[in-house]
Structure 1
Amino acid sequence: MIPIPSKVESQIFSLYDLEQKLKPLGYVIGGNWDYDHGSFDYEIADDVGYQFLRVPFKAVNGQLDAPQVTVEMGEPFLLSHKYQRGLDDNVRESNFRASFDQFSEPVDPDAEFPEEYVEVGKELVQELERTLLS
């Protein structure tokens, strides 16, 4: 994990407004959300796993599934997940069962982040700041 200091940290936004601004740029709400916190993830690459820019947030008033919830942004960071290869090889289960078991746990959920993508992450944070703070 590589933290990237940003002017968006500690800023408060409507979650709805964030979604409207960030989804067109390629961000998705990460699958690790809960009712009081979550993150926007931007997939940078998928080299021997996945490299992301993650922008965490926490609910300020109410829960994330509430219509008017506002959130406080955390410090963005770069994250690399390394997954097992070949899990789809020799599949003998039904499609129904496979629909539930399609995602593997990371071999290393905090794998080393490739140096060549660090600058890309910093540029993405600058774009994030321009989008949210101007």
Structure 2
Amino acid sequence: MLELNTEIEGRMASFGTLRDRVVQNGYHFGGGWDYHKGSFDSILHREGGETIYLRVPFEVYEGELDDYNTSIKFRKPYVIKHVVNTGLDKDASSLVSGSFNQFQEPLDRDAQIHDKSRWETAGEFAIEEFLQHLE
């Protein structure tokens, strides 16, 4: 995991409005949310079974995440790498034989990131674009 030092940490936003904007630009509302915190995730790079994500975490400042008008406050963003198995899936629930199952758990949720300066720069650039949605 590579933590990024950016201007987004501590910034505030309206959850529903921001979610609608960033989803149109390739971000996903992260799956590990609860009523008090969550994240927006974006893919920076995908090759084979390796995916490098930008994660923009936040905490609820006022309200709960099931409310469109909830106020959120951003925490320190980071880059993370997931590795999944791309071999043949012997599970009957596999979507496509010979491919990876998009619902499988990553083999490594926090795999080592090579060329750290490249991904720090890519993450910082993506955060600059993300900040435009706050204005």
Residue 102 of structure 1: CA displacement? 5.4
Report the counterpart of residue 130 of structure 1 in structure 2.
Answer: 132
Residue 15 of structure 1: CA displacement? 0.2
Report the counterpart of residue 51 of structure 2 in structure 1.
Answer: 50
2:42 is paired with a residue whose SS is: strand
Q: C-alpha distance in 1, partners of 2:123/2:23?
A: 17
Q: C-alpha distance in 1, partners of 2:102/2:132?
A: 36
Q: Is this contact kept in 2: 1:43–1:52, CA < 8 A?
A: yes
Please give the root-mean-square deviation of Cα atoms over the aligned residues, in Å: 2.0
Q: How does 1:26-37 map to 2 (within 5 A)?
A: 26-37=26-37
Confirm whether residue 66 of structure 1 aligns to residue 67 of structure 2. yes
**Runs of at least 4 residues of structure 1 off by over 4 A?**
none
Taking structure 1 as the reference length, the TM-score comes to 0.82
Q: C-alpha distance in 2, partners of 1:87/1:71?
A: 41
Unaligned stretches of 5+ residues in structure 2: 96-100
Unaligned stretches of 5+ residues in structure 1: none
- Count of residues in Structure 1 that have an aligned counterpart in Structure 2: 127
Q: Which has the higher helix share?
A: 1
Residue 6 of structure 1: CA displacement? 1.6
Q: C-alpha distance in 2, partners of 1:54/1:102?
A: 19
Q: C-alpha distance in 1, partners of 2:102/2:42?
A: 21
Cα deviations by residue, 1:96-119 (Å, 9 ceiling, x for unpaired): x557x8522111111112424332
Q: Is this contact kept in 1: 2:11–2:73, CA < 8 A?
A: yes
Q: Cα gap change, 1:87/1:60 in structure 2, threshold over 3 Å: closer, same or farther? A: farther
Cα deviations by residue, 1:32-66 (Å, 9 ceiling, x for unpaired): 11121110001111123211000001111221002
Q: C-alpha distance in 1, partners of 2:3/2:102?
A: 30
Confirm whether residue 12 of structure 1 aligns to residue 42 of structure 2. no
Taking structure 2 as the reference length, the TM-score comes to 0.82
Residue 87 of structure 1: CA displacement? 5.1
1:41 is paired with a residue whose SS is: strand
Report the counterpart of residue 123 of structure 2 in structure 1.
Answer: 121
